Amino acid sequence: MDIISSYSMLLIGMAAIFGFFMAWGIGANDVANAMGTSVGSKALTIKQAILIAMIFEFAGAYLAGGEVTSTIRKGIIDSAYFVDQPELLVFGMISALLAAGFWLLIASYLGWPVSTTHSIIGAIVGFSAVGVSMESVQWAKVGGVVGSWVITPAISGFIAYLIFMSAQKLIFDRSNPLKMAQRYVPFYMGLAGFVLSLVTIKKGLKHVGLNLGSLEGYLWALGVAVIVFAIGKLAIGRLKFNPSDDKDMHYTNVEKVFAVLYGGNCLCDGICSWLQRCC
């Protein structure tokens, strides 16, 4: 305890620097998950994507930071093992930040696929198991987190398949794909707005003291979905197309319609990306 009180400002400064270092690694990897599709489809420029990421990633961290830090702080290791020597917990967490940051740096430089969540959880498990004891790690909760790394992508892949097939049937396989895209894409935008806003309301707003009930949460999410639908409908309606274009050009115009969808989803993805880590 004397070490913490004597060097508190130094420890806080180190934690801030190492945390910033790891945040840089997160930006080099995880932001691409939310922005890559929109930039690749030319819905957003790189500058626009960076600006959106700056605003909405910060908003997501602020709204969902409590859930994430709670899982990292209490869901991985048992703090009871550090009651007699709390400085070990401080040193261990700072070391975990530095270790995860260096691993992200190395993997990013070499172009290896890397997960920031895997990195920080692995670092925390490592310092606790080696520095204290194997029993200090809450293996049941760690197993639940690891299981989510398998189950969540599987569920997401299945839902993505259903959405893709619906778009294939409703839009691309029709004789007038452009008209169908103008009709159905706003519904996809509304669905995305509903799901992502519902996650934000149920998980994130508790951090700022807004505890909405289930009915209120669904009503607010439905309201957001209607607004997103209306904005998408308006944005797509402002696109200009030549009705005399051939079929190939119609498919090119369909891509322009979907670019509006990608851009809208990018805004939602930015604010919700933090919600998908460790919750």
Domain that holds residue 100: 1-40+76-137
Yes or no: say if 184 and 170 are a contact pair by the CB < 8 Å rule. Answer: yes
7 shares its domain with 130:
yes
The string of pLDDT tens digits covering residues 94-111 is: 999 999 999 999 988 888
Question: Confidence class of residue 272 from pLDDT cuts 50, 70 and 90?
Answer: very low
116 shares its domain with 250:
no
163 shares its domain with 120:
no
13 shares its domain with 123:
yes
The string of pLDDT tens digits covering residues 166-209 is: 988 888 888 777 788 888 888 888 888 888 888 777 776 666 66
The string of pLDDT tens digits covering residues 132-178 is: 888 888 888 888 888 888 898 899 889 889 988 998 888 888 877 77
Name the pTM for this structure.
0.69
239 shares its domain with 133:
no
Inside any domain, residue 69:
no
Total domains in the fold of the chain:
2
Alpha-carbon distance of 15 to 7, in angstroms, equals: 12
104 shares its domain with 226:
no
123 shares its domain with 147:
no
Higher pLDDT residue, 30 or 19? 19
The string of pLDDT tens digits covering residues 54-75 is: 887 777 777 666 666 666 766 7
236 shares its domain with 264:
yes
How far, CA to CA in Å, does 38 sit from each of 234, 247, 266, 268? Answer: 19, 25, 7, 12
DSSP string of 26-79, one letter each residue: HHHHHHHHHHHHHHHTTSS-HHHHHHHHHHHHHHHHHHHHHHHHHHHHHSSB-G
pLDDT for residue 273 is more than 60: no
Inside any domain, residue 68:
no
Higher pLDDT residue, 69 or 268? 69
144 shares its domain with 276:
yes
User: In the predicted model, what is the mean pLDDT of the chain?
Assistant: 79
